[in-house]
Chains A and B, each alone.
Chain A
């Protein structure tokens, strides 16, 4: 079976493609797919014409939500999301890192007010894209991806 068949061969669910090689496990973790009740697969170091090597995740019976797409964008800013229904790709889109991530991930600063006050949504502003740096709107601290995830 070709690698392409392995990636697309699910009846219903989501395929996350073009994840940089080696980052698939991290995407799997932040989406908490280990808790997903149906099957999930990670393809590591699969061949890619564009990227040389890439990771791919397919998840059965789950449509990735906007908030989750924003999380993926933190690790794999060029990933593509394909929604599969009845064996067909019904929607395909690139993840886009928004300028502001609201309520996507908690501020890593434990002393930030967003981590103590109830009903306050976290708000992280993209300060720099390469390498990715985010600033907490409230505590003003700047974080790299490794500190956030």
Chain B
């Protein structure tokens, strides 16, 4: 008789994509497919009835916050929120106080490692909604779900990560996850914003994937099945003018897409700045609004697997 391992995420903290096995990621993506169908059929859902999500955002992130709140409410649960605050000190006290009011904590914090610390001190599961420039695992799950949905697979696809590869948590999480799924990854960024070498070495050593580097947008686009674009984080530059100059030189335009594969897709975590010309929004390449719509079923799936 064949033994089958049943993967479970019940009461798990979701802090870093590094903590998740490939099978666990697939479990979330499969559950998101189920949630998407239920949403389409407008089925009433009650998995989170009588459950409370505490939303702790210490920096603004409208899309992430609202989609977590909507996901919880779609599942019949309730949301409590702290008043938005930039007072990031005493995280331990805040988490200890709030955990008694809720069943799950969603934390966004500008300091790297804050979610891991919160998870260590909280009895309730903690979901990392972005910790500085470290990790944004739930955005990565949305990205993987979108790629699988649009392309039918992740393995073997040519995925180009473009833009700020140094400071962006979304990119670091996705880079690791793409390596888990054995995608061929091209890294294209201005020299000032290259992916840290340690991150590249890590995924090469662990997964043996092919990674290409380029400073040229043209070569990153030519063979790509998926372009994942991220803007420059201007707050990381002392000189805003310099940041804008870098961004302008590294911008996706209609002209630059002339040599792209016909079925290539462009993804972006949104909201965009100037890194993608707005004329591209109406082209067949632009899939970022569809990608954003998947944040609901994916976060519903995650909450359901962790809490319900």
Which residues of chain A have C-beta atoms less than 8 A from B233's C-beta?
A: none
In the complex, the answer to whether A116 meets B117 with C-beta atoms within 8 Å is no
Select A140's contact among B89, B92, B109, B112, beta carbons within 8 Å.
Answer: B112
Interface assignment of A142: CB less than 8 Å from any CB of chain B: yes
Which of B18, B117, B133, B199 has the most chain A CB atoms closer than 10 A to its own CB?
B117
Contact surface of B with A, Cβ cutoff 8 Å? 16, 18, 88-92, 109-114, 116-117, 131-135, 196, 198-199, 202
Would A117 and B92 be within 8 Å (CB), given that A111-B112, A112-B113, A137-B116 are in contact? yes
Which residues of chain B have C-beta atoms less than 8 A from A142's C-beta?
A: 196, 198-199, 202
In the docked arrangement, what's the CA distance between A116 and B90, Å? 9
The main secondary structure of chain B at its interface with chain A is mixed
Interface residue tally for chain A (C-beta within 8 Å): 20
Q: Which residue of B lies closest to A141 (CB)?
A: B112
CB distance from B95 to the nearest CB of A (A): 11
In the docked arrangement, what's the CA distance between A114 and B120, Å? 13
Contact surface of A with B, Cβ cutoff 8 Å? 107, 109, 111-114, 116-117, 119-120, 127, 133, 136-143
The 3 tightest CB contacts between A and B, nearest first, are: A138-B113, A139-B112, A142-B198
Q: Which residue of A lies closest to B116 (CB)?
A: A138
In the complex, the answer to whether A113 meets B16 with C-beta atoms within 8 Å is no
Which of A112, A119, A138 has the most chain B CB atoms closer than 10 A to its own CB?
A138
Q: Which residue of A lies closest to B135 (CB)?
A: A140
Would A109 and B112 be within 8 Å (CB), given that A138-B117, A140-B16 are in contact? yes
